[in-house]
Structure 1
C-alpha cells in the first residue's frame, strides 16, 4: 500500500478510544508509529530520515509514521510535512485545540491503521535503531514491548544525581500507589514502546500527564510483556519539556489508575520471583539475628553486657548494622546475576547507597510499627521488633527488586 499523497490529517475528536482494525478509516498496515512533538523542528527531519531508512528496509510498505504536533510555535508540523514530501510513509497531524503528550499519542493511534501501534519521542533521545528489536519481540508473540534503561543493554548516557533521584523517586511512588501497574515492567517511566492494537481497541482511555505507557499497562488487555534494553541519549537540540506540573499530573494519573474499578483485571499477575525472594528471606533471617543481638546488647538493662540505652536509639543502630550485613549477602548471593553486570567499585557503592536508602525508608516504618506495638499495645519489645521486621521484609524485597540491582549506566 502506497499513500496517494502526503496528507495533513485532521485531528481525531471525541472519546479517546482506539477503533478496532476492521473499523479504521484508512487502509490497514502492519505497524503504525506515532511521534508526539512540540517545538522539535531542529530534530524531526533527522528523526524521520533515520526511521524511514530502518523501516523501509525491514518492513517495506507495511508501516506508517504519524507525527502529531501540538501546533508548535517553531512550526514543527510544517517541517515534518516538508520532510514527508520525500517520505511517502509519513503523515502529519497538527493539533490546534488540544495539548498534552499522552492525548497526542492516542489521537495518532486513532488515525492509524496499524495492527501494531507504537510511540517514540521526536528528540532523538530514544535511539530509532531499537525499533527493530521491539518489533522483533512483537513478531515473537509479545502483546506489549517496552524499551527499558534497566535491563541488560540499557542505561543512561549522562544524568546528574538530581535527575536520577527524581526518576527513581517517581518510580518508587508508583510502586507504592499502583504496584500492579508500575511493577509490570522494569522501566515504567519509559515512553518508548509498542503493543498490539487489539490490546487497547475499544477501551476508553483517560490519561493524565505524559506517561502513556502506564495507561496502556493499566487499562489494556495485555498478557505477554517483553523488554528490550536501550541507552537513553542526551538531547542534541531543543529544550526538555519536563516541568513540575508533569510530576503533579503523574501522581494524579497513578491515583486514577489505583481507584477502584479503573484498572483492568490483569489476566496474568505480576510474576513473583519465588526463588529470589526465598534467598532474600534467608538473608533477612541472618539480619534478624544480627538486629536482635545488637538490640539486646544496646537496650537490655537486665544483662551485664547491656548498655540500657533507649529503645528507639538502640533500634536504629541495630537496624543499620543489619542493613550492612544484608546488603553484602544480597549482593553476593540473592542478586548475584544482576550485580555481575555492574562490577566496578563505583557501581557497588551506588548499589549500597540505594539499598541503604530503601532500607532506611523501611526502618522508618519499622520504628513506627515497633513503637506502636510496644507503647500502645504493650507487646514485649523483642516480640514487637520481630513482628515489625516481618512486615518490613516484604517492603524491602519489593522495592529493591524494582529499584535496586538494575543496570543504570552504560558505556
Structure 2
C-alpha cells in the first residue's frame, strides 16, 4: 500500500490550530454553541474511493466550505482505484486548509469495508467520520455528527435515512429501494440486540470514537462496514441524526449483484461468530449433505452392492458436498490457516474416520432393530453430528499452534 500526503498544515500546527482556537476563531466557537452543538474534538474524515475522480474535487470543496470553520479536520482517502483518482485528489488538495492523505491499496482486501478499516488505523483524531466519495452523504453534516456524539457522550453516531427528518430520496429506482429495505429488515432480524437503537444499519455515513473500536478485531467483507462495527465492537452508547440521502454527483453506482452476494456472505460470517451458531449452520449444511449421501447409497444398493461398501462410496459424495459448502459459507475467514490440500485431506480423513463409529451403529440398527440401510444411515449421521463438528473446527480450521508460536516473536520484534 502506497501513501501520499498532501498537507497544507498538520492538525497540531499553530496555523491550523489558530484557525479554530485563536481569538479570530472565537466567534466560530460561539456559533457552534448557539446552534446547540457541543464543542467537538478534532475529526478524521475517512473516504474510501474506487474510481471517483469525477467526484473528489467537489467533495473536498464542500468539506472545505462546511467543516474547518467549525472543528479541526483531516481527510484520509483510502483508494482502490484503477483510474486517475489519486492524482485528482493530489491536485485538489492544494487548495484545502486541512491535511489530506491518500492511501492507495494495490490489493483491495476486504473491499470498501477493508478500506475503511485502513482509514481508521491511519486516523489521528478523536473522532472518525466515514462517508462515501460520491457526495450522496452531505459533508455539511459532519460537524453535527461529531457534535451530537460529544453532547450525548456516545461512541457511535449514525446518520439515518429512516428517522424523522431523514430521507432516502437519492436512492434511485424502486429496485434499489426494495433491496435496501429488505437488507435492513434482514440485518435487524438477525441481530436484534446488537442493532438495537440503529434504524439504518445499512448506512455508510457515521461517526465513531477512535477509542471505541479495535480495528484489528474487524473482519470486513464488502461495503457494509457499519454492520461490521456494530456487531463486532458496538460502543455502549449509540445515537442517530437524520440525513437526506443525496443524488450521486457524478459517475455510476458501484453496487452490483456480486456485492450483494458478498453482503450475504458477510451476514452469515457475522451470524456464525459464536460456537453455538456455527454448530447450527454446520448441522444445516450436514443436513443438505444427506441428499447426495443417501441418493448415492440408494443407487449403489439397487445395483446389488452390500450396504457396507455402498455406504463407504456414497459417503464420499456427502463429504465433497459438505466440504464445498463449509469452505465457502462457514469457515471462509479461516481458510488461510492451512493450504487447500491440507484442509481437504484433513476434512476427508475426519469425515471417513467417522465411518469407524458410524458403520457399527448402522450394523447395530440393521441387525438388531430391523431398520433398512437408508434410515439406519440417517440415524447414525445424526448421532455422530457433534463429534464431526468439534473435530472439523479443531483439526481443520483452527490455526496451528506451531505457526502461531513461530510468528509471535517476529511480531514482537
Tell me the distance in 1 between the aligned counterparts of 2:141 and 2:76. 18
SS of the counterpart of 1:226?
A: strand
Change in Cα spacing, 1:49 to 1:202, as seen in structure 2 (3 Å) is closer
Tell me the distance in 1 between the aligned counterparts of 2:120 and 2:275. 21
Deviation at 1:181, TM superposition (A): 3.1
- Correspondence for 2:32: none
- The question of whether the paired residues in 1 share the 8 Å contact of 2:168 and 2:244 is answered with yes
**1:64 aligned to 2:64?**
no
- The question of whether the paired residues in 2 share the 8 Å contact of 1:177 and 1:255 is answered with no
Deviation at 1:260, TM superposition (A): 4.1
- The question of whether the paired residues in 1 share the 8 Å contact of 2:47 and 2:131 is answered with yes
Q: Structure 2: give runs of 5+ residues left out of the alignment.
A: 8-40, 277-413
- Correspondence for 2:103: 93
- Correspondence for 1:51: 63
Deviation at 1:221, TM superposition (A): 4.5
SS of the counterpart of 2:254?
A: coil
1:5-404 equivalences in 2 (<5 Å) = 6=6, 30-59=42-71, 62-70=72-80, 72-87=81-96, 88-99=98-109, 100-140=111-151, 141-158=153-170, 159-201=172-214, 203-261=216-274
Quote the RMSD (CA, aligned, Å): 2.1
Q: Structure 1: give runs of 5+ residues left out of the alignment.
A: 8-28, 264-411
Tell me the distance in 1 between the aligned counterparts of 2:53 and 2:202. 25
Tell me the distance in 1 between the aligned counterparts of 2:42 and 2:205. 18
Deviation at 1:250, TM superposition (A): 1.3
More helix by share: 2
Question: Which fold has the larger relative contact order, with Cα–Cα distance below 8 Å and residues 6 or more apart in sequence?
Answer: 1
Tell me the distance in 1 between the aligned counterparts of 2:273 and 2:103. 35
TM-score with structure 1 length normalisation?
0.54
- The question of whether the paired residues in 1 share the 8 Å contact of 2:53 and 2:85 is answered with yes
Tell me the distance in 2 between the aligned counterparts of 1:81 and 1:91. 9
Deviation at 1:177, TM superposition (A): 2.5
Deviation at 1:134, TM superposition (A): 0.5
Change in Cα spacing, 1:5 to 1:234, as seen in structure 2 (3 Å) is closer
Change in Cα spacing, 1:183 to 1:255, as seen in structure 2 (3 Å) is farther
Deviation at 1:147, TM superposition (A): 0.5
Deviation at 1:179, TM superposition (A): 2.5
- Correspondence for 2:346: none
- The question of whether the paired residues in 2 share the 8 Å contact of 1:34 and 1:109 is answered with yes
Deviations 1:249-298 (A, max 9, x none): 111111222124389xxxxxxxxxxxxxxxxxxxxxxxxxxxxxxxxxxx
Change in Cα spacing, 1:54 to 1:262, as seen in structure 2 (3 Å) is farther
